[in-house]
Structure 1
Amino acid sequence: MATPLPAGLTAGAYEIDPSHSTASFTVRHAGIAKVRGTIALTTGSISVGDDLESSSVSAELDAASVNTGDANRDGHLKSADFWHAEERPVWSFISSSITADGDDYAITGDLTINGVTKTVELETEFEGTAVDPFGNPRAGFSAEVEISRKEFGLTWNAAIEGGGVLVGDKVKIALDISAIKKG
C-alpha cells in the first residue's frame, strides 16, 4: 500500500540548497561537556515520487569544511587521527527507503564517513513548503541520527585523569534542509 506524501509536498526533483541548509554534530568531550560543529553540505537531491515509497534522497558533505570554532581542533579532526579529510574528503548519504513514522518520517540509507559505510535511520520531519522571493518552490526538512563514531573507524581517543576518555563514542548529527524544486 502506497503512503501518501505529506500535505503540501508535490512530486518532482528537488535540489538541496547548500547556502540554506546545515549539517551539524554534537559529541561529548571529557565526559562533562559537549562540542558542537558543522560540516558543509555540498550537494544533494531529493526525488519525490507519487508516494513515500517511490521517493529518495542523496547528499554529500565536505569533511574538510569542519568548523567547531577552534582552528586547532578542526585541524585535528581533519587529520588521520579522525577523518583523513585529504584522502576521504566526501561523506555521503544515499537512501534506501522512506516510511511514515507517526507524524514524522524514517529515512533509511547508507551513510559513508571516513570510507566506512553503515546503514542508518534518519528521524525526519517535513517542515513545509514555501515559494521564495525569486519564485522558487522550496521544501524544508529536518533530520537527526545518532551514530557510534567507532563503527566508522573513528577510534582516536585519550584517557583522562580519574578515568574515562576525552572523546565520547556517540555522535548526534542534525540536518536542516531547504530544497528547491526543479522544473
Structure 2
Amino acid sequence: MSITTGTWTLDAAHSDVDFVVRHAGISKVRGSFQTVEGTLQLAEDFTASSVEVTVDVASVNTKNEGRDEHLRGTDFFDVAQHPTMTFRSTQVRGSADEFTVVGELTLHGVTRTVELAAELGGQDVDVFGTTRVGFEATGEISRKDFGLTWNAATEAGGLMVSDKVKLEIGAAFVLPQDEQQA
C-alpha cells in the first residue's frame, strides 16, 4: 500500500493509548490515557520514518476514579514530578504494511528502549477532505524497569499488580492542509 510522505499530526480524538495489566493474579485491568499529542514523519524510504508522542500521564482513565488517583500519586506515576510520558522512535524495521518501531520510552523519569509491533491500518481522505493514515501497535514493558515497583500481596500470596504491562495503541494521523495540496 502506498502512503503519503510528509509530516503528520496525531489526531487524538481518533487515537488510543491503552494498557492492560493483570490485577490480583486473576483478572485484567484496562486503562487508557485521554490526552496525547504527537508527530509522525513518513519518509520515502519507510524505514527512515519516525514518530514522537507525548502523553499527559494525569489523564489516565481505568474507569475507577479511586484507582486513577492512586495511579497519579507517588506509588505509581507521581504526576507532580513526572507529568508526561514520551516515546521517540530510533529505528523502523520492515515495510509499511507490517513493521517494528524501536524507540526510547520515558516514563516516571526513566528512559528505556521499547519495541512495538505495528501495522498500517490504511490511508484515506475523509468526507471533510482531510487525508488520514492509521496504525496499530502493541508491545510489553516491565513496570519495574521504570521504577514503578509498588505492590501488595494478596491473601493467596500473589501480587495485586503484575510487573508486565501490555501496550495497545491505535493511532490516527492527519496530514495538515498545506501538505495535502503540495
What interval of TM-score do these two structures reach, taking the shorter chain for normalisation? over 0.9
2:23 is matched with: 29
Q: 2:62 pairs with 68, 71, 75, which one?
A: 68
Residue identity opposite 1:71 in structure 2: E
Between Structure 1 and Structure 2, how many residues are aligned? 177
**2:181 aligned with 1:181:** no
Q: Quick check: 1:23–1:41 contact (8 Å CA) kept in 2?
A: no
1:38 deviates by 0.6
1:3 is matched with: none
1:41 deviates by 4.3
CA RMSD, aligned part only?
1.3
Structure 1 unpaired stretches of 5+: 1-6
Counting aligned pairs with the same residue, the percent is 44
2:79 is matched with: 85
Find the residue that maps to 2:59 and give its secondary structure: strand
TM-score (norm 2): 0.94
Residue identity opposite 1:29 in structure 2: H
Cα distance 1:54–1:109, how it changes in 2: closer, same or farther (>3 A)? same
Find the residue that maps to 1:64 and give its secondary structure: helix
2:116 is matched with: 122
**2:125 aligned with 1:131:** yes
Determine the C-alpha separation between the residues in 1 that align with 2:16 and 2:22: 20
1:169 deviates by 0.5
Larger strand proportion of the pair: 1
Q: Quick check: 1:47–1:55 contact (8 Å CA) kept in 2?
A: yes
2:11 is matched with: 17
Q: Quick check: 2:46–2:96 contact (8 Å CA) kept in 1?
A: no
Find the residue that maps to 1:50 and give its secondary structure: coil
Q: 1:142 pairs with 130, 136, 151, which one?
A: 136
Q: Quick check: 1:21–1:41 contact (8 Å CA) kept in 2?
A: no
Q: Which aligned segments of 4 or more residues in structure 1 are displaced greater than 4 angstroms?
A: none
Find the residue that maps to 2:158 and give its secondary structure: coil
Determine the C-alpha separation between the residues in 1 that align with 2:48 and 2:97: 19
1:102 deviates by 9.8
